[in-house]
Amino acid sequence: MKQKWQSYPSSIRLLAIAAIIFSTGMACIWPLVTIYIHDYLGKPLTVAGFLLLLNQGAFLIGSIAGGMLFDRWGKMRTIVFASIGVILISVGLGVTHDFTLYTILLLLNGLFYGTLSPVMNALAVVLWPEGGRKGINMIYVALNAGVAAGSALGGLLASISFAWTFFGNAISQVIVLVMFVLILPRQLKAVAERGYRAEQANTAGTPAAAVQSAAKPKPVEAFSPLQQLPTKKVAWGALLLLCSGLLISWIVYVQWTTVLSTYMQSLGISLRQYSLLWTINGGLILFCQPLIAWVIGRFARTLRAQMLLGSYVFVLSMLILSQTTSYAGFVAGMFIMTLGEMLVWPAVPAVAAEFTPQGREGFIQGLISGTGSAGRMLGPLLGAVIFQHFQAQGLLYIMAGLALMSVAFFALHSSFQGRTRKVPAATVEKM
């Protein structure tokens, strides 16, 4: 494990540590929001559900806006702006007991968290462009490790005071912000230097380039590695199909947190047993990476194959659930679904990064993050309507069919993927 960790560049290791702390703070809040609204603010569960729906809508808007700011306004400015917003809002959530103010702050929290959401994957692409799926997968695992730690820490803090769950989140975001401010500019400069040296090595063989280089010394920090000219733009057809497949995958996945939780309780499965399924989910993500690496190496050596295999696994999970009413069957379904999650969730942003023009990393990763948020918004409503009309087995068969649709979208996306021509260019790298 130690050797595996050290095989990653220092910039990715630091980013992973920041992702763990970031996700730990976020997970202090979210498992307890519904309980807080219902038990402490005295509102019905329907109100809590509606507020979470609005929060996800704000998250979606923030994801797209954050990606655009990351590219156009600068990396450090976006991080500092959004992080300060999250910190102040978390403190506000901890001190207020007014429902109207809480609602406003919860929406702003979704907006600012959405602004930060593309940052981790976009930075993984920028800091280690040659890493491909490995860098993004590392961030995925780190974020899930933070969720596992934060869920336990949130329960501990809530036993002291619910206010401390919000304050704990604020403290963790302060730590992440300090890490970014102290470390990120140096890492970005190192990336720019590597790119400049690569550019010089490519052009050093031509006499004209050598004369020009000698006549006009260029400051290292003023150059980005390789910039893609706007003559070859984003492959929108490929991106639309990719996002469509991801949207459907999230609609299928989110049934576990909504309709299926209610269905399991109607079968006599306790809330504690249901919660244990998510402990299994987190443990698999953390400790089954060698298994996933073996599966990828044996059956899914390309990112496209990885997405397709993960979607087929989603189908299998839904079919297993459709044929069982026992707790052991749900454990098996969660095990299978988690394997699919470990294949699909890291693969989609990595695929998007492959055909992202340089300078558009934040925007594209923001769209990917926003698509996931849209799936988490639509999934509960769609699942509830289907469940009401077709009962549990009908819902599960329909979800299996939707998962097959995501297979089709993922299979077709590469047909629309254009090749972006890379040429050296001298531009100031925004921080």
pLDDT tens, position by position, 12-55:
999 999 999 999 888 888 767 777 887 788 888 678 778 888 88
DSSP H helices, 161-302, are: 162-203, 207-215, 236-253, 259-266, 271-287, 289-299
Residues paired with residue 228 on neighbouring β-strands, in sequence order: 422
DSSP secondary structure letters along 240-281: HHHHHHHHHHHHHHGGGGTHHHHHHHHTT--HHHHHHHHHHH
For residue 401, give every residue at least 6 positions away whose Cβ sits within 8 Å of its Cβ, in sequence order, or none: none
Q: How far apart are CA 82 and CA 133, in angstroms?
A: 26
* Res. 204 pLDDT band, cuts 50 70 90: low
Q: Contact at 8 Å (CB) between 227 and 406? A: no
Q: Which amino acid is at 339?
A: L
Residue 230, pLDDT score: 42
Q: Contact at 8 Å (CB) between 75 and 188? A: yes
* Res. 90 pLDDT band, cuts 50 70 90: very high
Name the pTM for this structure: 0.76
Residue 172, pLDDT score: 94
Q: Contact at 8 Å (CB) between 398 and 404? A: no
Q: How far apart are CA 59 and CA 33, in angstroms?
A: 15
Q: Range with the lowest mean pLDDT among 96-105, 135-144, 231-240, 258-267?
A: 231-240
Kindly state the tokens that stand for 60: 């979606």
> Which stretch, 221-225, 340-344, 364-368, 381-385, has highest mean pLDDT?
340-344
Kindly state the tokens that stand for 128: 């280690």
Query: Which residue shows structure tokens 């695992």?
Result: 141
